[in-house]
Every structure is written in structure tokens, then in C-alpha cells.
Amino acid sequence: MVAPPPGVRAVPADWWERLVARSIEALVIGVFYYILFIAAWGLLRTVGLLEVYGDWLPGLFAWLVVGLAYAGYDCLAHYRRRRTFGKAIMKIRLEPAPGRRLSPGDLAKRAILYPGPIALAEIPGVNVVVGILVFAVGLSILIDKPLQRGLHDRWAGSLVIKDPH
């Protein structure tokens, strides 16, 4: 096993472990998104709003609901267990950065930066900014050595580590 960096009690999770954890969650959340999208599309088509506002409205509604729910779940899961279900499968968890304590406000800040913007991904024009932000978060994990913290981790004062057992 790799030794933890100086000042850190555990080994930071590798970028690919974090990516797989988020991908697992994205698969599940994607199912909820498509169910909600189909329901919203059917309802809006029935009442005639698709013709008025266009085909993007059901996607916006579904992303807002699912994106905000995911951000809320992310915050609550990290508060209660320091991990989401994807992190549990990958055997990684969230910890405070050295010299920090994680408060519910810190976890909310983390969720606002990522995955919160997912709620805005369907808005034309804003989706480009969301894509750039998500890319920047991923890139920051790759270039932040040795702690491998994303922008959302830095803002919240958190660190994703491998489970010691």
C-alpha cells in the first residue's frame, strides 16, 4: 500500500476510483432523469406546452429536480456516513483536509460546486458553462498532487481517501 502524504492520516483516493464512484451514481441518477423526463414530456405534450416552449422544457424540469435531489443526497450522505453509495462500492470516503473540520455548511458548499450544477445542464448556453466547470473539477483532481483534491474539495476543506481496512 502507498504511504499517505505528510500531514495526512490516510492515502488519498486515486482519480479513477473517484471517477468510477461518480459514474456508478450517474448511471442510477440517469435512470431517474429519464423516467422524470418521459413523464414531464408526456404531461407537457398533453397540455400543449411543448408547442409553446419547445422540446427543451421537459429536460430542464427533469434536470432541475434530479440535479437538486442529487446535490441534496450528496450533502446528506457525506454528512451521515462520509460517503455516497458510489464511494461505498469503491471503498473510498470523504474526510476533512488536514487541520479542518467538516460542517454541514462545508458539505453544502461542496455539493453546490459539484454536483449542483447538473441541475442547470439543460439550459441552453448555461450547459456550456456547466460542462467547463465539471471538466475543471475533474482536471483539478488530476493535477493536485499529492492530495488529488477537486475544486469542490478545496472549497469545502475536504479530502477523499481510501478506506484503511
Contact between 68 and 119 under an 8 Å Cβ cutoff? The reply is yes
What confidence score (pLDDT) does residue 154 get?
93
Contact between 1 and 14 under an 8 Å Cβ cutoff? The reply is no
Dihedral angle of Cα 150, 95, 107, 76, to the nearest 10 degrees: 120
Q: What's the Rg (C-alpha) of the chain?
A: 18
Residue ranges of the chain with per-residue pLDDT less than 70? 1
What confidence score (pLDDT) does residue 1 get?
55
What confidence score (pLDDT) does residue 30 get?
92
Question: Residue 112 to residues 60, 115, 125, 156, 162: CA-CA distances in angstroms?
Answer: 18, 7, 19, 10, 24
Question: Residue 110 to residues 5, 40, 47, 94, 131: CA-CA distances in angstroms?
Answer: 23, 29, 38, 11, 17
What confidence score (pLDDT) does residue 155 get?
92
State whether residue 96 is helix, strand or coil: strand
